[in-house]
Every structure is written in structure tokens, then in C-alpha cells.
Structure 1
């Protein structure tokens, strides 16, 4: 499995869904749809997305740290 880092390409907003899709070997579109559907339910989805956007390193920064 690859390390969790936001890609520099294939981003829509922050690259969080693309990073999760790559980590769990699935389509980025699938992760985005699941995230959008989860927003219909009560919960901290936007806060979780924002936290991951802040905490996950960008791919170019993560590659420099490896």
C-alpha cells in the first residue's frame, strides 16, 4: 500500500478523496461520490475533510521527506 499523501494531479478541491482512493486502491470518483452521499447524513464530514486537507502532506512534500 502507498503512503497517504495528497496527489499533485487529479485533485478537485484539496486532493483528499484522491489520496484516500489511491491508498485503498479504488477510484477517486467512487470516494468522491461516497463523500457527497455521506454529507446527506448528520455528522462532521466537512470537518473531517478539512482536517485531512490540513494534516495530509502534499505528494511533492511527502516525496521530499521520504
Structure 2
């Protein structure tokens, strides 16, 4: 009878460990390094002008991959 209880506890413990393995609380980060050249976006005096860079986090890449950006 004790072996059955030990087996049940072992199986329950293994199930709990496996069930919680997929529940991660990690917040993945991405580091970006953007370097611009000295001649980027020149104005009328050939001086570099400001550039706005926007970075978006996609919830799903399906719409992005199916978009036509060269219309």
C-alpha cells in the first residue's frame, strides 16, 4: 500500500512540474543598435537631417509577411 502512495505522489509531482514548465514569466528583450551614416537624409545644404525610426512589436507575423510593400 505504501508503494502505491509513493507512486501516486511521484506521478502527481511529475505532473505538476511538467504542467508548470510551460508557464514562464520571462519577458524577452531585444537590443537594437542603429548606426546612421554621416550622409544620411541630407538637407539642401548637404547636412544630415533628423530621421525618425519606429519599431513595432508584431502580435502575429502573418499580415506582415503577406503585405506588398512595393505597390
How does the TM-score come out when normalised to structure 2? 0.23
More helix by share: 1
Whose relative contact order is higher, 1 or 2, with alpha carbons under 8 Å and at least 6 apart?
1
How does the TM-score come out when normalised to structure 1? 0.24
Larger CA Rg, structure 1 vs 2 = 2
